[in-house]
Amino acid sequence: MRKDFLPFTRPQVTEEDIRQVEAVLRSGWLTNGPRNVEFEEAVCKYVGNRSAVCLTSETAAMHLLTKIFDLKPGDEVITPSLTWVSMINMVALSGAVPVFAEVDRDTLMVTPETVAAKITPRTKLIVPVHYAGAPCDIDGIRKVAGAIPVVEDAAHALGASYKGRKIGGGDTTCLFSFHAIKNITTAEGGMVVSNDEKLISDFRRWKFHGIVVDAFDRENRGRAPQAEVSFPGFKYNLSDIQAALGASQLSRIDRINAKRRELAMLYRELLADIEEIKPLADPSGYDFEHAWHLFIVRVVSPKLDRDAFMKALKAENIGTGLHFRCAHLQKYYRETMGCRPGMLPATEFNSDHICSLPLFPDMTGDDVADVAAAIKKVLA
Ligand SMILES: Cc1ncc(COP(=O)(O)O)c(C=O)c1O
């Protein structure tokens, strides 16, 4: 058994990251300012898109999305149930209805077919998720969406690519998360990236009290301090302390993702002969590059269920995660929407059987070998 605990994830913070944060702390400007602008421009350049806005989290971006799209009771938003609850909760808060599209049983992603099956005249928005770092079939989904807007949840997918273009690039609107476990982090933080300038300027106004001009604009861009509230907005601006950390991390994203890939390939090799452990499948039908945010397996042992498996691995000093428990069978959605088991068979099967194994850039091949050995031991 391992002597020290191997966590499911650990953020990589380098001396350079610390220097960049320290420079902000010494600069006299702490909240959103020049380092926000630098981080937004760097992400746009990296993914190949026009404009971006930093926010305090991706959930904040989703909240603003429900405002900008003016979601109202009766409107419908198609998204998976097998995802983190942020988008679903924000839709529910707006009074609109989250409509759950089924996922592919082995990639955990919605498909053009499962999305098409849920489109109605009330569908206002479609939010597919690029799961675990793999891209979903976004062209196919946009095709079935027709005129209905598609906004991509790319929380897991910074650095992933689809048909040769980076997720977040081209004529898309994508939401990213920089929460502490993501491929790059600002501790908490998010960003919307889009080629739609009007949408981006809406996000800017909604993120800061409904005022077009914020403190940085006034001090540094000579904009009028008399700017008024044009509508009541929120306060979701990211601090420069966080943006500096994000920009510093972004400068090595390709190295981070390459290391994640190397570890994931080793997992695939070492787990290949364990019948009770079924890793996710790669998407098929299009070229892609995986960002390897998570290494997810399904535990299908007649002797040990997923929860017991996670507990047994913990006793072996191996941490694991659960990404994610499906939303539609959680208390609020059972009680308010009448969701019942059997509605989404592939979603529910995976919700009961998935487990995320340790994967972070400072892990070693020996750590992966320890996880594989511990898995064999607990299954035996
Ligand atoms: C798929 C997905 N969407 C959205 C979010 C929300 O991101 P944030 O924590 O930045 O609000 C997460 C966070 O874990 C996520 O995994």
Q: Is 274 exposed, middle or buried (0-12, 13-18, 19+ CB in 10 A)?
A: middle
Residue nearest atom 14 of ligand 1, based on CA coordinates: 84
pLDDT of amino acid 65: 98
What mean pLDDT value characterizes the chain? 96
pLDDT of amino acid 222: 62
For the record, the structure tokens of 152 come out as: 């991509």
Question: pLDDT (tens digit, 9 = 90+) per residue, 101-131?
Answer: 999 999 999 999 999 999 999 999 999 999 9
Atom from ligand 1 closest to the CA of residue 60: 11
365 and 263 Cβ atoms separated by less than 8 Å: yes
Answer whether 84 contacts ligand 1 (Cβ < 6 A). Answer: yes
CA of 129 to the centre of ligand 1 (A): 10
Answer whether 0.85 is exceeded by the pTM. yes
Atom from ligand 1 closest to the CA of residue 57: 10
Find tokens 């979603």 and name the residue: 347
Higher pLDDT: 267 or 1? It is 267
CA of 177 to the centre of ligand 1 (A): 6
CA of 47 to the centre of ligand 1 (A): 19
Q: Could you write out the three-class secondary structure of the chain?
A: CCCCCECCCCCCCCHHHHHHHHHHHHHCCCCCCHHHHHHHHHHHHHHCCCEEEEECCHHHHHHHHHHHCCCCCCCEEEEECCCCCHHHHHHHHHCCEEEEECECCCCCCECHHHHHCCCCCCEEEECCECCCCCCCCHHHHHHHHCCCCECEECCCCCCCEECCEECCCCCCEEEEECCCCCCCCCCCCEEEEECCHHHHHHHHHHHECCECCCHHHHHHCCCCCCCCECCCCCECCCCHHHHHHHHHHHCCHHHHHHHHHHHHHHHHHHHCCCCCEEECCCCCCCCEECCCCCEEEEECCCCCCHHHHHHHHHHCCECCECCCCCCCCCHHHHHHHCCCCCCCHHHHHHHHHEEEECCCCCCCHHHHHHHHHHHHHHHC
Answer whether 179 contacts ligand 1 (Cβ < 6 A). Answer: yes
Residue nearest atom 16 of ligand 1, based on CA coordinates: 84
Mutate to test the pocket of ligand 1, among 9, 58, 234 (most ligand atoms within 8 A of CB): 58
Catalytic residues: 182
Instruction: Report all structural domains of the chain as residue ranges with CATH numbers, in order of start.
Output: 15-252 (3.40.640.10), 254-379 (3.90.1150.10)
Give the least confident one: 87-96, 128-137, 220-229: 220-229
Answer whether 79 contacts ligand 1 (Cβ < 6 A). Answer: no
Residue 230 pLDDT grade (very low, low, confident, very high; cuts 50, 70, 90): confident
Question: pLDDT (tens digit, 9 = 90+) per residue, 151-176?
Answer: 999 999 999 999 999 999 999 999 99
Mutate to test the pocket of ligand 1, among 86, 151, 184, 324 (most ligand atoms within 8 A of CB): 86
Atom from ligand 1 closest to the CA of residue 178: 10
What mean pLDDT is predicted for residues 68-87? 98
Question: pLDDT (tens digit, 9 = 90+) per residue, 32-49?
Answer: 999 999 999 999 999 999
**pLDDT of residue 182 exceeding 80:** yes
pLDDT of amino acid 97: 98
Mutate to test the pocket of ligand 1, among 53, 59, 91 (most ligand atoms within 8 A of CB): 59
Answer whether 183 contacts ligand 1 (Cβ < 6 A). Answer: no
**pLDDT of residue 52 exceeding 90:** yes
Question: pLDDT (tens digit, 9 = 90+) per residue, 296-336?
Answer: 999 999 989 999 999 999 999 999 999 999 999 999 999 99
Residue-wise burial string across 326-359, b where 16 or more C-beta atoms lie within 10 A, e elsewhere:
bbbbeeebeeebebeeebbebbbbbbbbbbbbbb
Atom from ligand 1 closest to the CA of residue 59: 11
Answer whether 80 contacts ligand 1 (Cβ < 6 A). Answer: no
**pLDDT of residue 219 exceeding 70:** no
For the record, the structure tokens of 344 come out as: 């989404």
Q: How far apart are CA 91 and CA 102, in angstroms?
A: 18
Parallel/antiparallel/unpaired status of strands 165-166 and 161-162 = antiparallel
108 and 132 Cβ atoms separated by less than 8 Å: yes
Residue 81 pLDDT grade (very low, low, confident, very high; cuts 50, 70, 90): very high
CA of 101 to the centre of ligand 1 (A): 18
